[in-house]
């Protein structure tokens, strides 16, 4: 998405502040070691809800009271500020959207006095994610109990930073991929970050995963069900033999369970009998009441599902209408308007422009509110659908319990002496026959229903052309990475570079005619490792920018990309310096290639020792946002 860092600020306890202004396109922060360059990544990461305090100890931590970044969005500015760790920063954050650029220019510590301090794990992080367009809930029911299962801005960060100790490493391409759970979350959520799938997709996927787990559980119980049937079959044979023994009649030959079932249905008749009323009547009435209650709950759930679906469709149409209204808006000035004829101030026009800005802010707020509604209605809809399935299952169990009581009421008769004994065995026979006949039948019926439901969901899921979208994304990405790598210091023996990225693994290979598949760790030379990292990180940046529904901000930090070459500032014409200059020019050209594709410049922030480079038609100093040589530093 079109989102870059406008400002990085540190407010001190003494009322002073440190400010770094950034723009779209290339931004260079140059300086010698220990001046705070690498700390900029840690400050940005801290403001993006990191659960760890990785801001360096020492001057920065001692000075800071509040860390702040300002993100430039298409609609305005997102101000994110987090107190120092020791001052509630471990769990609290400020988040505020502003549409007025003059507020951002005059930003100071007093601005935050009137703002609520939000909990990071809650409203704070959710507000940030909402403003950047990340509105998808847990991708899989298996992840529902893990906080990391939720699609999170924290899982975007490997694509935003190439750290100093990573950018020329042979061991990893992106950060945070060594943790198995974090890696799984990043890979699962990458299609979300690319905007290839949405809440509807994952709602269907979650239901499919849930149904498959239930089906697997029922199938796993099949063996136990068969053993249960055999056990009750043997009991049935024993009861029938005892029944025939009481009436002094030889029982029929019963070899199989089916023979026993047939014999149980054709028992010799008894004398005239009578029925015994037991407390089963009271239980029958209680179950009947519960059945009616569950049927009413089912009816209510169906109505709510219908209501949510109707409201969601209306909200989607209204949201599109408001966004079209917003797109037709124009920029207005906040200064006094002067008549071009008489040169007199026209305060009425200024008032009209203020009303216009207010109206646009209100429309922005309404859009944000409706987008937030769209995020949660899927959760509610899925919850009611789950409730409906549970109610249907409970109603079926209550109906089965009522049938069982009917059986006992119908067959349990009171007799004296022999009649009592015969009646006892008849009840046992009837009960065993029911169990033998129905053991596994309920599971079979449930299994059939679940498989039919799964079939419908699979058909719905197949309508999402997810595999094709991934294939197209990989095709473009591979072409971009290979082209970029061809302009870098890639080993001659492996040229031309033929890079292949698998997005479901985030693994990168060079496909070589002579050496086959060559991974990052298979190569020697820091120059090759650097080329791999730059191609991958710049390629992913370009892919996110080219994805209209992507929620990943369009900025990338590159920390010390020149470290491989150690250019000597006293020898501007050395081979190492030439390599560094080629590297910078390649990055600039890539930025300018992206601009006509997407309509905006992505932001690349280079933190480096290099200075006064000769970039040909590009003026190095034009891109320098801070020069921390000499006595200059972040703090």
Domains of the chain: 198-268+417-463 (no CATH), 277-411 (1.10.287)
Most confident of the ranges 61-75, 320-334, 409-423: 61-75
Whether the pLDDT of residue 141 is over 50: the answer is no
User: Which tens digits make up the pLDDT trace of 220-271?
Assistant: 876 676 666 677 778 888 888 888 877 778 888 888 878 888 888 888 765 4
User: Which tens digits make up the pLDDT trace of 445-504?
Assistant: 788 888 898 999 888 888 777 788 899 999 999 999 999 999 999 989 899 999 999 999
Q: Which residue has the higher pLDDT, 76 or 204?
A: 76
Distance, CA of 503 to CA of 513 (rounded, Å): 23
Q: Residue 561: which of 595, 594, 589, 538 has the closest Cα? A: 538
Phi, psi (degrees; rounded to nearest 5) at 334:
-105, 5
Distance, CA of 434 to CA of 440 (rounded, Å): 11
pLDDT level of residue 416 (50, 70, 90 thresholds): very low
529's tokens: 């490792």
In the chain, pLDDT over 90 holds for what percent of residues?
A: 46
Distance, CA of 544 to CA of 533 (rounded, Å): 16
Helix (H) and strand (E) counts for the chain?
15, 14
Asked whether 547 and 194 are in contact (CB, 8 A), the reply is: yes
pLDDT level of residue 541 (50, 70, 90 thresholds): very high
Distance, CA of 214 to CA of 210 (rounded, Å): 6
User: Which tens digits make up the pLDDT trace of 286-343?
Assistant: 878 888 888 888 888 888 888 888 877 777 777 777 667 666 655 555 556 667 777 6
Whether the pLDDT of residue 15 is over 90: the answer is no
Whether the pLDDT of residue 280 is over 60: the answer is no
Whether the pLDDT of residue 381 is over 50: the answer is yes
**Among the residues of 194-279, which ranges form H helices?**
199-220, 222-246, 257-265
In 430-515 the beta strands, taken as DSSP E runs, fall at 499-502, 507-512
**Among the residues of 519-627, which ranges form H helices?**
526-546, 575-598
What SS3 class is residue 555?
strand
pLDDT level of residue 391 (50, 70, 90 thresholds): confident
Mean of all residue pLDDT scores within the chain: 84
405's tokens: 């009581």
pLDDT level of residue 23 (50, 70, 90 thresholds): very high
Distance, CA of 230 to CA of 629 (rounded, Å): 86
For position 335, what pLDDT does the model report? 59
DSSP conformation letters of 149-187: GS--GGGTGGGTEE-TTTTT-SS-SSTT-SSHHHHHHHH
In the chain, pLDDT over 70 holds for what percent of residues?
A: 83
């Amino acid at each position: 998405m079109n989102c870059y860092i406008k400002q990085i600020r540190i407010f001190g306890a003494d009322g002073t502040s440190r400010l770094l202004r950034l723009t779209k396109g290339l931004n260079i922060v140059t300086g010698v070691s220990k001046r705070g360059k690498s700390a900029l990544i840690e400050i940005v990461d801290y403001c993006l809800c990191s659960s760890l305090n990785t801001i360096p100890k020492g001057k920065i931590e001692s000075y800071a009271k509040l860390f702040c970044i300002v993100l430039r969005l298409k609609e305005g500015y997102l101000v994110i500020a987090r107190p120092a760790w020791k001052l509630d920063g471990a769990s609290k954050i400020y988040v505020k959207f502003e549409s007025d650029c003059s507020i951002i220019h005059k930003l100071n510590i007093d601005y935050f006095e009137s703002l609520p301090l939000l909990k990071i794990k809650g409203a704070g992080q959710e507000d940030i994610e909402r403003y950047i367009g990340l509105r998808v809930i847990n991708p899989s029911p298996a992840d529902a109990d893990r906080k990391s299962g939720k699609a999170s801005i924290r899982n975007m960060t490997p694509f935003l930073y190439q750290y100093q100790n990573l950018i020329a490493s042979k061991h990893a391409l992106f950060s945070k991929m060594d943790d198995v759970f974090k890696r799984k979350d990043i890979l699962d959520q990458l299609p979300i970050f690319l905007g290839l799938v949405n809440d509807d997709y994952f709602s269907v996927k979650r239901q499919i995963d849930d149904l498959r787990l239930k089906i697997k559980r029922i199938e796993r119980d099949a063996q136990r069900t068969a053993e249960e049937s055999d056990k009750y079959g043997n009991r049935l044979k024993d009861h029938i033999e005892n029944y025939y023994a009481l009436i002094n009649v030889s029982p029929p030959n019963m070899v199989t369970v089916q023979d026993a079932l047939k014999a149980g249905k054709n028992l010799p008749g008894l004398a005239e009998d009578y029925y015994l009323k037991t407390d089963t009547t009271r239980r029958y009435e209680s179950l009947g009441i519960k059945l009616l209650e569950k049927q009413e709950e089912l009816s209510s759930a169906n109505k709510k599902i219908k209501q949510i679906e109707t409201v969601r469709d209306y909200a989607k149409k209204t949201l599109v209408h408001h966004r079209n209204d917003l797109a037709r808006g124009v920029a207005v000035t906040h200064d006094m308007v002067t008549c071009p004829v008489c040169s007199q101030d026209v305060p009425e026009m200024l008032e009209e422009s203020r009303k216009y800005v207010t109206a646009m802010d209100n429309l922005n707020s309404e859009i944000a509110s409706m987008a937030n509604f769209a995020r949660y209605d899927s959760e509610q809809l899925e919850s009611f659908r789950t409730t409906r399935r549970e109610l249907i299952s409970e109603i079926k169990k209550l109906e089965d319990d009522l049938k069982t009581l009917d059986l006992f009421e119908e067959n349990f008769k009171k007799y004296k002496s022999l009649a009592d004994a015969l009646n006892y065995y008849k009840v046992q026979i009837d009960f065993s026959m029911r169990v033998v006949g129905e053991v596994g039948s309920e599971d079979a019926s449930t299994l059939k229903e679940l498989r039919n439901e799964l079939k419908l969901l699979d058909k719905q899921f197949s309508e999402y052309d997810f595999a094709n979208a991934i294939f197209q994304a990989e095709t473009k990405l591979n072409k971009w990475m290979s082209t970029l790598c061809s302009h870098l210091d890639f080993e001659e023996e492996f040229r031309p570079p033929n890079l292949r990225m698998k997005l479901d693994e985030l693994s990168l290979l060079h496909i070589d005619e002579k050496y086959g598949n060559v991974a990052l760790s298979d190569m020697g030379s820091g120059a090759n490792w650097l080329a791999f990292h730059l191609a991958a990180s710049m390629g992913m940046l370009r892919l996110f920018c080219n994805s209209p529904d992507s929620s990943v901000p369009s900025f990338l930090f590159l920390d010390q990309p020149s470290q491989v070459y150690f250019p000597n500032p006293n020898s501007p014409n050395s081979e190492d310096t030439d390599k560094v200059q080629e590297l910078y020019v390649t990055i600039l050209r890539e930025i300018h290639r992206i601009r006509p594709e997407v309509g905006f410049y992505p932001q690349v922030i280079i933190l480096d020792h290099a200075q006064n480079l000769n970039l040909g038609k590009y003026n190095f100093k034009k891109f320098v946002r801070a020069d921390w040589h000499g006595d200059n530093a972040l703090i």
